[in-house]
Chain A
Amino acid sequence: MSRVFAQARSGLVYAGLSLAAFVSIFPFFWMLVGTTNTAPDIIKGKITFGSALFDNITNLFAQVDMVQVFWNSTFLAIVGTVLTLAISSLAGYAFEMFPSKTRERVFAVLLLTLSIPFAAIMVPLFVMMAKLTLINTFTAILLPSIASVFIIFYFRQATKAFPHELRDAAKIDGLKEWQIFLYIYLPVMRSTYAAAIIIVFMANWNNYLWPLIVLQTNENKTLTLVVSSLASSYYPDYGVVMVATVLATLPTIIVFFLLQRRFVEGLTGSVK
């Protein structure tokens, strides 16, 4: 009796999981199939592989300077990630290692800013960038993202698990604070960094709204902007759009798989 019940239960669980897997995997599959089909076939709903892959790729490279666009996205994502991690992890470290009443208040204010949606500060930010004559520069993209409150918060929480006695031991071994950060904290917290890299890299790579507003000339456009403009043209060539989408998806997938194990460790507590 109870065995039948247990079997029925696990059957239901598997059915649910299968459905969830299908919903998350099918769009990827469709995207891959789409790269090999012509636009009319895709619109008709064809979900088997076709033979238009080569044409789609050629068309894409004919319409867009893909090398430049890919470089723009890569540059922004990598430099943005490095700068964000450097600044925000330092801040998280400092908030946790040097607590004071004033700093706690500053931290509380920082956390409050998390509740302000980007749309609300978009216009003032744009005006600010315009006054600094940074419109249509990569600096305008990088500057506002470097001090990420979320990443500061994330690092502060992770730092709570960093044994303070390690820092004391390092001090006695002759390390200055920045050396402790560089030679002890950083390697010990590498899982935390890995998880943060994935989060920040994806956010930067997929960043759309702000680049759309700030980057105005074609040679500065990023991949997300190109995908979206291809898809919203009057007669979108979906085969071409799918090729661009695959290119836009690949780097995040690569980064994720490279750091996947550390990512999980980083989210579940990295200090061992």
Chain B
Amino acid sequence: MTGLKLRNVRKSYGAAEVIKGVDLDISPGEFVVFVGPSGCGKSTLLRMIAGLEEISGGDLFIGDNRMNDVDPAQRGIAMVFQSYALYPHMTVRENMGFALRFAKKPKDEIARAVNEAARILELGPLLDRRPKDLSGGQRQRVAIGRAIVRQPDVFLFDEPLSNLDAELRVHMRIEVARLHKELATTIIYVTHDQVEAMTLADKIVVMRAGVVEQVGAPLTLYDDPNNLFVAGFIGSPKMNFLAGVVEQDRVRLPEFGNQSIPLGHLANPPAQGSEVTVGIRPEAFKRGGAAGLELTIEIVEHLGNESFAYARQSGGQMLTLATEDGRGLQPGQRIEARFDPAHVMLFDTSGQRIR
């Protein structure tokens, strides 16, 4: 098993810097997910690891070897593309065996590798078909199979599930997770979908505009985000952000009729009078919390297992509340939304977390 090290890795297209110095350590066998909004540089970073884009600055180590200038085929990686990128003129079998055939491996070894991959992914009946005769999900499995056959040290996935419908996406997500269990190989997986990131990753790398915002285990990012961006990106529905002003151990909320909530226990509390952003997750509102906000419900959505209520105070900012016992909620209803002050997060004006 092989780990990776990125040291101040940069990429520029002409004058435009797209990757602005990324430092990252990936342990052997780890499942790492790059997540971030579209255009933030996830694919570019992945393609730099693959050797498909030149690295403008910094060092890339795969295992113990500096790989900046090594051929893609020599890096011990295999990649699965969003468009699957199966060779249309070859059968599934030929597609999967192509790299080995090209490397002049003996025929029986190729056959064994292809059959083994076909077994893992249940592709047996499809081996003699061409890509155009396969469904999207099947193509994706073949693309993964092609990667497996090469027995890489590191798997690279670039939004592999984005072209599938919702149901198939969930199914394939589980397949990928199972695959990682079975092969125990290092995987780097790019997605813009935070649910995919949360469910698959050992470690999530949240990126924005070519910069790594935070690296951590999924629940760490959920419970303890470093900044507004990560707090807003991880979690669905999105965290509520309320403008506030610090006044005597409490935060006054001008948008909510100047109600205030307790500041909570902070190692470095903000100065009196400073402006802060208060973050409360929709699911943090629970009966019996020690703090509360008086709100009027405007819209209610029932999903069956849980309900979302959109509430505010007299024309102010709208809050999202998620609750499992919200079937009785009605639009127009006045409520006292209770929550545990320990679950409130504070961010300073630059978006950094106040701890």
Interface residues of A (CB under 8 A from B): 163, 165-166, 168-175, 184, 187-188, 190, 271-272
The 9 closest A-B pairs by CB, nearest first: A174-B73, A165-B85, A173-B99, A169-B85, A187-B89, A165-B81, A172-B72, A171-B72, A165-B83
Question: Could you tell me the distance between the alpha carbons of A93 and B79 in the complex, rounded to whole angstroms?
Answer: 24
Partner of B50, one of A172, A190, A272: A172
Q: Which residue of B lies closest to A186 (CB)?
A: B89
CB pair A188 B103 closer than 8 Å: no
Chain B residues with Cβ below 8 Å from A171 are: 51-52, 72-73
Chain A residues within 8 Å of B150, by CB: 173
Q: Mark B64-97, 1 if CB is under 8 A from A, else 0.
A: 0000000111000111011101111100000000
Q: Are A188 and B73 in contact (CB under 8 A)?
A: no
Q: Is B88 a contact partner of A173 (Cβ separation < 8 A)?
A: no
Compute how far the CA of A264 lies from the CA of B146 in the bound complex, rounded to whole angstroms.
32
Q: How far is the CB of B100 from chain A (nearest CB, A)?
A: 9
CB atoms of A173 and B73 under 8 A apart: yes
- Chain A's nearest CB lies how many Å from the CB of B280? 42
Closest Cβ of chain B to A119, distance in Å, is 42
Q: Report whether A174 and B102 are in contact in the complex, using a CB–CB cutoff of 8 Å.
A: yes
Q: How far is the CB of B34 from chain A (nearest CB, A)?
A: 17
Give the contacting residue for B87; candidates A166, A174, A190, A272; CB below 8 A: A166
State whether A175 and B85 are in contact (beta carbons under 8 Å apart), knowing that A168-B52, A168-B79 are contacts in the complex: no
- Give chain B interface residues in 313-352, CB to chain A under 8 Å: none
Q: How would residues 157 to 176 of chain B score, 1 for a CB under 8 Å from any chain A CB and 0 otherwise? A: 00000000000000000000
Find out whether the CB atom of B85 lies under 8 angstroms from the CB atom of A173. Answer: no
Task: Return A164 CB to nearest CB of chain B, in Å.
Answer: 9
The interface centre, meaning the residue of A163, A166, A169, A170 with most chain B CB atoms within 10 A of its CB, is A169
- For this complex, 9 residue pairs linking A to B, each with C-beta atoms less than 8 Å apart, are A165-B85, A168-B79, A169-B81, A169-B85, A171-B52, A171-B73, A172-B50, A173-B150, A188-B87
What is the minimal beta-carbon distance from B54 to any residue of chain A, in angstroms? 13
Known contacts A172-B50, A173-B99; 13 additional CB pairs below 8 A are: A165-B81, A168-B85, A169-B85, A169-B86, A170-B87, A171-B52, A172-B72, A172-B78, A174-B99, A188-B88, A271-B88, A272-B88, A272-B132
